[in-house]
Amino acid sequence: MRIAFLTAPEGVEQVELTEPWQAAVKAGHEPVLVSTKSGEVQGFDHLDKADTFPVDEVVGDTSAESFDGLVLPGGVANPDFLRMDDEAVAFVKEFFERGRPVAAICHAPWTLVEADVVRGRELTSWPSLRTDIRNAGGTWVDEQVKVCDHGTNKLVTSRKPDDLKAFCETYLDVFQEEAAGR
Summarised one tens digit per residue, pLDDT across range 134-182 is 999 999 999 999 999 976 789 999 999 999 999 999 999 999 998 888 7
Helix (H, G, I), strand (E, B) or coil at 141: coil
- The pLDDT value recorded for residue 24 is 98
φ, ψ of residue 84 to 5 degrees: the values are -95, 0
pLDDT attached to residue 153: 86
pLDDT digits (tens, 9 = 90+) for 83-133: 999 999 999 999 999 999 999 999 999 999 999 999 999 999 999 999 999
Q: What pLDDT score was predicted for residue 179?
A: 87
For residue 104, the model assigns a pLDDT of 98
pTM above 0.95, yes or no: yes
> Which H or E run includes 166?
helix 164-181
What are residue 155's DSSP bridge partners? 102, 148
For the packed helices 14-26 and 164-181, what is the interaxial angle rounded to 10 degrees? 50
Mean pLDDT, rounded, for 36-43: 98
pLDDT of 182 reads: 73
Closest CA to 148 of 165, 161, 140, 88: 140
With a CB cutoff of 8 Å and minimum separation 6, the contacts of 1 are 24, 29, 30, 68, 69, 175, 176, 179
Active site residue 29: no
Phi, psi of 60 (to 5 degrees): -75, -10
Asked if 6 and 78 touch (Cβ cutoff 8 Å), the reply is no
* pLDDT of res. 150: 78
Please list the residues that pair with 10 across neighbouring strands.
42
- For residue 108, what pLDDT is reported? 98
pLDDT band at 73 (very low <50, low <70, confident <90, very high): very high
Single-letter code of the amino acid located at 79: P
Domain extent listing, the chain: 2-181
Domain 2-181: CATH superfamily, name plus number? Class I glutamine amidotransferase (GATase) domain (3.40.50.880)
**Where residue 16 falls among pLDDT bands split at 50, 70, 90?**
very high
Q: What is the DSSP string of 74-98?
A: --SHHHHHHHT-HHHHHHHHHHHHT
Which one is catalytic: 29, 106, 148, 168?
A: 106
